[in-house]
Amino acid sequence: MIIVLKPNATKADADELLELIESAGLKPLYMPGVERTVLGAIGDERLLGKIHIESHPLVEKVTPILTSFKMVSRELQRQDTVVDLGGAKIGGGNFTVIAGPCAVEAEEIMLATANAVKKSGAHGIRGGAYKPRSSPYSFQGLGLEGLKILNNVSNQTGLPAVTEVVEAGDVAQVEKYAHAFQIGARNMQNFRLLQAVGQSRKPVILKRGMAATADDLLMSAEYIVSEGNGNVILCERGIRTFETATRNTLDLNAIPYLKEKTHLPVVVDPSHGTGVRDYVAPMAKAAAACGADGLLIEVHANPKIAMSDGYQSLYPEQFDKLMDELALVVEAIGKKMT
């Protein structure tokens, strides 16, 4: 850790801080300069959390040298983690596509959609039973009934199922009916929920929050992994910026960044990432081209009647065409999509 002192800090101030650094078990370093004095703290700087050096009134700036995540870091584990999601492999050289409606609405629609996406080559299905909605007056999901529908459809089609969990108290129930948990963007820093899914051994798809940096996402993954569940899949789904032409700004730069920093698989949700049906296919291909390990994508047997996010759901025939096009890009990039 690098500590820059304010211009008016004296040698005595520096000494006080150097002593603090040493007391935390780190090697202190003193670098007096012309305009500023700089201190260093060499060692596992995560220990410095204990001494709150940034609180000191004569400290101008503290710059960490090491990242604050550990277990998810590629420095700890060089090779890619490959997560087994009910038979579908995510990570390594695989490109994996999970498709389905935003919300589970009725068994017929869910089954029709699942059959369609299976035929087009999808590896898993998705559908929300618990829907976090900005308005208390919007459709909030079917709850337990939705979980059962999803489970039935998964059994009938053989496709593993992913569904969102919104509260620590629901984890046991959701675990019973789904092959993987999804943590939504709004709950990325609901730390109780992260700890709860961390105590499960089922895979967790962790979506990036709308105001979360890629490092914040890694810290949230660290919460889950540090509880003992290493089956975490990160998901880029767009961040909030000034641009209003699209619902969110899909930050694909985060893909090479995350793939460099972590061994966990990284997928992309181009449906929420754009919010516009016509842009889903191009951004799905872009995600594959820059190194994502797969996609989470909204498909609905009849988007016109979808109860949420219908304007961004693909029609089954659009999804089918996309899968053909994706296959070419995935091959060009040297991955496999089977």
Considering only residues 296 to 315 of the shown chain, the ones binding its own copies according to CB under 8 A are 303-308, 310-311, 313
Helices within the chain (DSSP H only) = 11-23, 107-120, 144-157, 171-177, 191-198, 214-226, 254-261, 270-274, 277-289, 316-333
Residues 72-91 that bind its own copies (CB under 8 A): 75
Beta pairing partners, 124: 98
Please report whether residue 121 would count as binding its own copies according to CB under 8 A. Answer: no
Residue among 279, 295, 323, 335 that touches its own copies (CB under 8 A)? 279
| Burial group, residue 250, by CB count within 10 angstroms (0-12, 13-18, 19+) | buried
Q: Shortest distance, CB of residue 321 to its own copies, whole angstroms?
A: 13
Q: What is the DSSP letter of 182?
A: E
Which range touches its own copies (CB under 8 A), out of 43-51, 106-114, 121-129, 229-237?
A: 43-51
Amino acid identity of 25?
A: G
- For residue 195 the two structure tokens come to 């700890």
Question: Which residues pair with residue 182 across a beta bridge?
Answer: 164, 205
3-class secondary structure, 210: coil
Residues ≥6 apart with Cβ < 8 Å to 10: none
Per CB under 8 A, 337 contacts its own copies = no
Distance of CA 83 to the CA centre of its chain: 14
Applying CB under 8 A, among 84, 111, 257, 321 the residue interacting with its own copies is: 257
- Taking CB under 8 A as the binding criterion, the range among 118-126, 145-153, 173-181, 252-260 that sits at the site for its own copies is 252-260
Q: Which CB, 12 or 34, lies closer to its own copies?
A: 34
Among 122, 125, 206, 283, binds its own copies (CB under 8 A): 283
Least distance (Å) from its own copies to the CB of residue 128? 13
Pick the closer one to its own copies by CB: 85 or 214.
Answer: 214
Given the rule CB under 8 A, which of 83-91, 111-119, 160-168, 175-183 is the region that contacts its own copies?
Answer: 160-168
Specify the stretch interacting with its own copies by CB under 8 A; choose among 91-99, 116-124, 167-175, 228-236.
167-175
Please name every residue paired with 83 in a beta bridge, in sequence order, or none if there are none: 90
Query: If DSSP states are collapsed to H, E and C, what string results for 297-309?
Result: EEECCCHHHCCCC
Name which of residues 177 to 236 contact its own copies (CB under 8 A).
186-187, 189-192, 209-211, 213-216, 219-220, 222-223, 226
Give the closest residue to 3 by CA, choosing from 30, 31, 40. Answer: 40
Looking at the Cβ atoms of 7 and 93, the one nearer to its own copies is 7
Question: Binders of its own copies among 137-156, rule CB under 8 A?
Answer: 137-140
- Size of the residue set binding its own copies (CB under 8 A): 109
Based on the shown chain and the rule CB under 8 A, indicate whether residue 25 belongs to the binding site for its own copies: no
Nearby residues of 167 by Cβ (< 8 Å), 6 or more positions away: 130, 193
Task: Tell me the closest approach of the beta carbon of residue 46 to its own copies, in angstroms.
Answer: 6
Considering the rule CB under 8 A, would residue 172 count as an interface residue with its own copies?
no
Under 8 Å CB-to-CB from 307, ≥6 apart: which residues? 102, 103, 105, 139
Task: Return the residues of window 91-120 that contact its own copies according to CB under 8 A.
Answer: none
Residue 15 binds its own copies (CB under 8 A) = no
